[in-house]
Amino acid sequence: MEAIIQWTRATINKHPVFTKASALLTVLILVTATYVLFCRPYQLRWGATAVEIASSVPGDELNRNPSFRATRAITIEGTPEEIWPWLIQMGFGRAGYYGYDILENLGSPEGLHSAERVLPRFQDFEVGDELPISAVVSMTFFAIEPHRYLIWVGDEDENPGVFTWALYPLGGSRTRLVSRIHWTYEWTSITTISLQLFTEFADHIAVRKILRGVKGRVEGDIEPMWVQNAEFFTFVATFSVFVSALVLIVVRRLTWQTWLAGLLTGLLWLATWYTPIPLWFSALIAIASIGTLYLVFRRRKIAG
C-alpha cells in the first residue's frame, strides 16, 4: 500500500496537469455512469406504470425520433373536470407551475407565488396561442381537448419539443395525470445547449413538482412555500458542492482525499436529485456534502 501511495505521489509531481485532468475525467465518468445506469431510467418514468410508459398518448406523432422521451404520472383524488382548470392556466406570467416558484416564477408579472385558486382570466386559451414557459422561452398550444389532454409544442420545424398532459379517469373520483415529453437534442447554440442540459438533468425535478402541485391544489392540500424553497436550496447546495469539489481537484494539490471528495459529492448530488427520499434526509445529505468539502479544505490547509 505504501508503495502505491509513493508511486501516486511521484506521478502527480512529475505530470501534475495530466494527472489532474485524468482525476477530473475519472470522477465525471463515474458520476455520469451512475446517472445513466440508475438515475436516468428512474427519472424518465417517475410515478408511471409499465402500461402508461408503453401506451401512446396524443402528441407522440409530432416527434417520432426523440433523444429524450419521458413519461411521469400521479394519481389525483379528483375528476378530470376538477383537474383541468389547473392544467390549462399553467404558464409563466399566468398561474405559474405550482412547483419551485422561486425559480420558475422569478420576474412573473403575476407575482412569485403560483396560483392557489382557479383564475378565470387564464381559462379560455385556443390552439395556436402562445404559452410562455419562462421569461425567455415560449411554446404554443398545439391541441386542447378539455378534460382529456393538453399539448404544448416548440417552434422547431422538425422533431419539435412536445409536452403532453393527459387525464385518464380511474373510476369514482380518481384520475391519473400523465405527463409525456418528447425532446430532440440540437447542439446549435449556447442557449440551446443550456436548455438541452436543463431538460436532461433537471426536467424530472420540475415535472415531478408540477404533478404534485396539481394534486395538492385539487385535493386541497397545498404545500407551504417554505417547503418547496427548502427543497430547492437543498438541490442547489448539493450540485454547487459537487462543482466546487471538481474545481478543488483542478486548483489544489491533488490527493486521494480531494479525488474521493469529488466522487462522493457527485454521488450525494445524484442521491438528492434522483432518489425518492424525504426533505429531511435530503437536507442531511446536503449537510454531509458540505461537510465533506469542508474537511478536505481544512485538511489541505493544515497540511500546507
Q: pLDDT digits over 227-243, tens only?
A: 999 999 999 999 999 99
Q: What is the mean pLDDT of residues 43-55?
A: 96
pLDDT higher than threshold 60 for residue 42:
yes
Give the chain's mean pLDDT. 89
Question: What integer pLDDT is reported at residue 210 of this predicted model?
Answer: 96
Question: What integer pLDDT is reported at residue 5 of this predicted model?
Answer: 45
Q: Can you spell out the DSSP letters for the chain?
A: -HHHHHHHHHHHHHSHHHHHHHHHHHHHHHHHHHIIIIIHHHHTTTT--HHHHHS--TTGGG-SS-SEEEEEEEEEES-HHHHHHHHHT-BTTTTB-SS-HHHHTTT-TT-SSPPSS--GGGS---TT-EEESSSS-EEEEEEEETTTEEEEE-S-SSS--EEEEEEEEEETTEEEEEEEEEE-----SHHHHHHHHHHHHHHHHHHHHHHHHHHHHHHT-PPPHHHHHHHHHHHHHHHHHHHHHHHHHHHS---HHHHHHHHHHHHHHHHHHHS---HHHHHHHHHHHHHHHHHHHHHHHHH-
Question: What integer pLDDT is reported at residue 10 of this predicted model?
Answer: 52
Greater confidence, 244 or 293? 244
pLDDT category, 32, cuts 50, 70, 90? very high
pLDDT higher than threshold 90 for residue 254:
no
- Domain 50-223 falls in which CATH fold? Alpha-D-Glucose-1,6-Bisphosphate; Chain A, domain 4 (3.30.530)
**Model pTM score:** 0.89
pLDDT category, 297, cuts 50, 70, 90? confident
Least confident range from 35-39, 44-48, 86-90, 201-205: namely 201-205
Question: What integer pLDDT is reported at residue 223 of this predicted model?
Answer: 94
pLDDT higher than threshold 80 for residue 11:
no
Greater confidence, 113 or 296? 113
Domain boundaries, the chain: 2-43+232-303, 50-223
pLDDT higher than threshold 50 for residue 146:
yes
Question: What integer pLDDT is reported at residue 48 of this predicted model?
Answer: 97
Question: What integer pLDDT is reported at residue 9 of this predicted model?
Answer: 52
Q: What percent of the chain clears pLDDT 90, i.e. is strictly above it?
A: 70
pLDDT higher than threshold 70 for residue 263:
yes
Question: What integer pLDDT is reported at residue 136 of this predicted model?
Answer: 82
Per-residue pLDDT of 60-106, as tens digits, reads 999 988 889 999 999 999 999 999 999 999 999 999 999 999 999 99
Q: What percent of the chain clears pLDDT 70, i.e. is strictly above it?
A: 93
